[in-house]
Structure 1
């Protein structure tokens, strides 16, 4: 299974190599846009794409990007709660009060 994270293409960094800068939840990273570009890579600026291991895999609309980011935030919060519960259970099993 692979997970694509929504990122917004903010600039083309190397048109010859089809590289662009993407903003992924406030983190900027360079990604390859070969899978999503046409004749003019600069047309991608402002577009949302699913980013996976340094590649923009497919274009998505802004609404889909927002929904996906919200779901990922919710999963992160749920995982944090599960981690806290597990730590509490370990402490209780060891006889330590939390």
Structure 2
């Protein structure tokens, strides 16, 4: 199962404006934000992430609801977090 998971933008990398450091349930990774070129996220905003790419911006309420849902489904969410933790974009 592939999931879109919410993450909070910590910072947009100054030397790579197509990448942002994002926190997803305590896991911090660089995520490609190039698909959001017309509405770039900034620190403190929430994004929906799939396989290392930001798909859309979402508000904090929507992010929290999605996180609660994902925590409820358990294993698939844990697998997605593990895949995110194992991923690396340089």
Shared fold (TM-score, shorter chain, > 0.5): yes
Aligned match of 1:95: none
Calculate the aligned-residue CA RMSD, in Å. Answer: 2.1
Q: Which runs of 5+ in 1 are unaligned?
A: 78-98
Deviations 1:50-89 (A, max 9, x none): 0111101101000000000000111117xxxxxxxxxxxx
Q: TM-score, normalised by structure 1?
A: 0.67
Q: TM-score, normalised by structure 2?
A: 0.72
1:18 to 2:25 alignment: no
Alignment equivalent of 1:56, drawn from 40, 54, 57: 54
> Larger Cα Rg: Structure 1 or Structure 2?
1
Q: Quote the offset at 1:17 in angstroms.
A: 4.9
The residue correspondences of 1:1-98 to structure 2 (distance < 5 A) are 2-14=2-14, 16-38=16-38, 41=40, 44-76=42-74
Q: Which runs of 5+ in 2 are unaligned?
A: 76-90
Between the two proteins, the alignment pairs up a number of residues equal to 75
